[in-house]
Amino acid sequence: MENWESIMKTKNAVQVEIARGFLEENGIVAVVMDKKDSSYSNIFGYVELLVPRQDAEAAKALLDNEIKPE
């Protein structure tokens, strides 16, 4: 995933999915990476939103205007 950049990191998986959908509606491919530990009822870890490195600045700008991470 060296050509991808993380633009959001949170424990709120729903928020990341909303952001992913918003970016895709605006023509930016986005991938959700779940780094929560399922052995502990999702207490530990986080969910990350990744976009292609060349789209990272545009994605951040879109999200800054629409969605605020926790």
pLDDT for res 44: 73
Q: For residues 20 and 29, what is the distance between their CA atoms, to the nearest angstrom?
A: 8
pLDDT for res 29: 97
Provide the pLDDT confidence category of residue 41 given band limits of 50, 70 and 90: low
pLDDT for res 39: 59
Q: For residues 8 and 32, what is the distance between their CA atoms, to the nearest angstrom?
A: 10
Provide the pLDDT confidence category of residue 12 given band limits of 50, 70 and 90: confident
Q: What does pTM read for this prediction?
A: 0.80
**Other residues' Cβ atoms within 10 Å of the Cβ of residue 51:** 24
4-66: CATH architecture: 2-Layer Sandwich (3.30)
Closest CA to 44 of 54, 53, 36: 36
